[in-house]
DNA sequence: GATCCACGGGAATACACGGATG
DNA sequence: CATCCGTGTATTCCCGTGGATC
């Protein structure tokens, strides 16, 4: 964080009486610039990209770690640092290996597969990072974008190291697909898959990110609350308890803490109480998916999820209603048709954003099921832009 | 140079069919 | 067999783009 950002934060915090000084610092979906407690992993990653510091080009490597182990955090921090340390002043994510040349010759490009599912979107993302001029959002064919990418790399002998994060989640673009899309420029690109497992049939280097140990997670939480919460807003033993409960999963720990802080703030409390932390932990469902998976969904889907959660607070027992009924109730409160909402709900269940639970009802015909969120509802409602 | 239009991608919607269940 | 759920897919709509046309 630079001085300007610090000043901006002070300005924003001024007059604010709540305990939350900086929501972004507490948010489970925002990575810190300097990852805590991942020193040895960073060393391994630096070994892997080492050739770039000379005139070489790194071999492919995959980054693998369980949920909440900080794989995204380390890779974004690394790519960001490589860009600012080695990069030119072009403002793009890129690095030059030749002193004096204005253009980067090797780019480090981070692609979030959650937000890139089509070939078109992939080419567009990569191009808009590499080029200064704007890339069309539509009205042009996928082949056109591919040709632009080829002519950007090939004639100038430029190269790109492309991290493809979350390649192994439902509905995201796969590492294999990315390789395929980069086939025309295979000599100029290195793909770095980042996820919970390596791509099938992966034979190159794998860098494993272990789950956080308890004290490491405590350190992470302590660092976050020290700049995100007002002084004295949380007792240290509460931080340790959350770290213990989360069992190495930083996402779950941060989500519980964020939710607790949000609740305490809404109640205008000067500090987090045990009840807030209990509710924060309870808001994280079993087998919880990452909050960012819900926040990267299209706006309409987030709207549907918001309305679904609102039904519950409107007194409708959503856990007892069949999907058909829920879809009708949601459609009534939105611009979408019931058929479309039904489609969305099944689709979201298919992507593990919702869990389908069979209902016990009489009558003939196939048994209906209902749905339950597999994401933290309070944190989602707080962070989703459609809920404003 | 202004206007028009065809095209591509993507989202919303409709629809039909397969399958589970009493 | 009747009924209704769940899913795959065709169709329609919308919007941005960029080339054709005048």
Average of per-residue pLDDT across A343-349: 94
Same domain, A123 and A254: no
How many Å does it take to go from CA A132 to C1' B2? 28
Same domain, A190 and A235: no
* Domain-terminating residue out of A256, A282, A308: A282
How many Å does it take to go from CA A221 to C1' C19? 56
Q: Percentage of residues in chain A with pLDDT exceeding 70?
A: 89
CATH number at residue A354: 1.10.10.10
* Domain-terminating residue out of A188, A208, A228: A208
Nucleotide nearest to A138 (CA to C1'): C16
Q: Is there contact between A98 and strand B, defined as CB under 7 Å from any strand atom?
A: no
DSSP secondary structure of A296-323: TS-HHHHHHHHHHHHHHHTT--GGGS-H
Which CA-bearing residue is nearest the C1' of B12? A340
In this predicted structure, what is the pLDDT of residue A345? Answer: 94
Average of per-residue pLDDT across A223-234: 90
What pairing do the DSSP bridges indicate for beta strands A205-208 and A354-358? unpaired
Provide the pLDDT confidence category of residue A88 given band limits of 50, 70 and 90.
very low
Same domain, A186 and A217: no
Protein residues closer than 7 Å by CB to strand C = A 134, 136-140, 322-324, 342-343, 346, 349-350, 356, 363-369
Same domain, A307 and A373: yes
* Domain-terminating residue out of A282, A313, A336: A282
Same domain, A175 and A46: yes
Q: How far is CA A87 from CA A81, A110, A132, A182, in A?
A: 9, 15, 15, 23
Residues A277-294 have pLDDT tens digits of: 999 999 999 999 999 999
Same domain, A44 and A149: yes
Residues A89-146 have pLDDT tens digits of: 343 444 444 444 445 578 899 999 999 989 999 999 999 988 877 888 888 999 999 9
How many Å does it take to go from CA A142 to C1' B8? 8
In this predicted structure, what is the pLDDT of residue A367? Answer: 87
Nucleotide nearest to A339 (CA to C1'): B13
Same domain, A85 and A177: yes
In a domain? residue A183: yes
Residues A67-78 have pLDDT tens digits of: 999 999 999 999
Distance CA A237, CA A283 (A): 20
CATH number at residue A257: 1.10.8.60
Average of per-residue pLDDT across A28-40: 88
In a domain? residue A334: yes
Average of per-residue pLDDT across A28-56: 87
In a domain? residue A156: yes
DSSP secondary structure of A159-207: EEEEEEETTTSTTSPPHHHHHHHTGGGGGGEEEEEEESSPPTT--SEEE
Look up the domain containing A326 and give its range: 291-387
Mean pLDDT score across all residues of chain A: 87
Same domain, A248 and A298: no
Provide the pLDDT confidence category of residue A147 given band limits of 50, 70 and 90.
very high
Same domain, A199 and A234: no
Contact A304, A336 (CB under 8 A): yes
In this predicted structure, what is the pLDDT of residue A4? Answer: 66
In a domain? residue A201: yes
Among the listed ranges A87-101, A221-235, A300-314, which one has the minimum average pLDDT value? A87-101
Which CA-bearing residue is nearest the C1' of C3? A365
In a domain? residue A178: yes
A86 has pLDDT over 90: no
Residues A164-185 have pLDDT tens digits of: 999 999 888 999 999 999 999 9
Provide the pLDDT confidence category of residue A248 given band limits of 50, 70 and 90.
very high
Say how many domains are in chain A: 3
Same domain, A7 and A52: no
């Amino acid at each position: 964080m630079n001085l300007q950002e610090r000043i901006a934060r002070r300005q924003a915090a001024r007059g604010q009486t709540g305990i939350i000084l900086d929501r972004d610092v507490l948010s489970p979906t925002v990575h810190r610039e300097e990852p805590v407690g991942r020193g040895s992993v960073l060393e391994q990653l630096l070994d892997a990209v080492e050739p770039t510091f000379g005139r070489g080009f790194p071999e492919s490597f995959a980054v693998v770690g369980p949920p909440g182990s900080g794989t995204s955090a380390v890779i974004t921090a690394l790519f960001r640092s490589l860009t600012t340390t080695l990069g030119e002043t072009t403002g793009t994510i890129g690095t030059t290996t030749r002193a004096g040349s204005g253009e980067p010759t090797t780019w480090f490009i981070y692609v979030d597969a959650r937000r890139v599912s089509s070939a078109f979107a992939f080419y567009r993302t990569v191009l808009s990072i590499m080029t200064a001029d704007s890339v069309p959002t539509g009205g042009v064919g996928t082949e056109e974008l591919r040709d632009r990418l080829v002519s950007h790399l090939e004639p100038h002998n430029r190269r790109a190291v492309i991290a493809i994060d979350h390649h192994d989640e439902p509905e995201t673009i796969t590492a294999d697909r990315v390789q395929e899309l980069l086939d025309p420029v295979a000599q100029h690109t290195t793909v770095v898959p980042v996820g919970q497992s390596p791509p099938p049939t992966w034979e190159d280097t794998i860098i494993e990110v272990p789950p956080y140990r308890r004290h490491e997670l405590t350190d992470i939480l302590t660092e976050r609350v020290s700049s995100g919460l007002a002084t004295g807003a949380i007792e240290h033993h509460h931080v340790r308890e959350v770290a213990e409960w989360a069992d190495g999963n930083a996402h779950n720990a941060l989500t519980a803490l964020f939710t607790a802080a949000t609740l305490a703030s809404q109640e205008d409390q000067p500090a987090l109480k045990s009840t807030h932390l209990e509710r924060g932990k309870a808001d994280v469902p079993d087998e919880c998916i990452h909050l960012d998976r819900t926040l990267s969904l299209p706006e309409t889907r987030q709207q549907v999820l918001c309305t679904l959660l609102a039904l519950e607070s409107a007194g409708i027992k959503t856990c007892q209603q069949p999907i058909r009924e829920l879809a009708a109730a949601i459609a009534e409160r939105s611009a979408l048709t019931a058929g479309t909402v039904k489609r969305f709900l099944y689709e979201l269940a298919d992507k593990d954003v919702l869990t389908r639970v069979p209902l016990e009802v009489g009558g003939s015909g196939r048994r209906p099921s209902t749905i339950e969120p597999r994401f933290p509802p309070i944190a989602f409602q707080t962070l989703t832009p459609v809920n404003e």
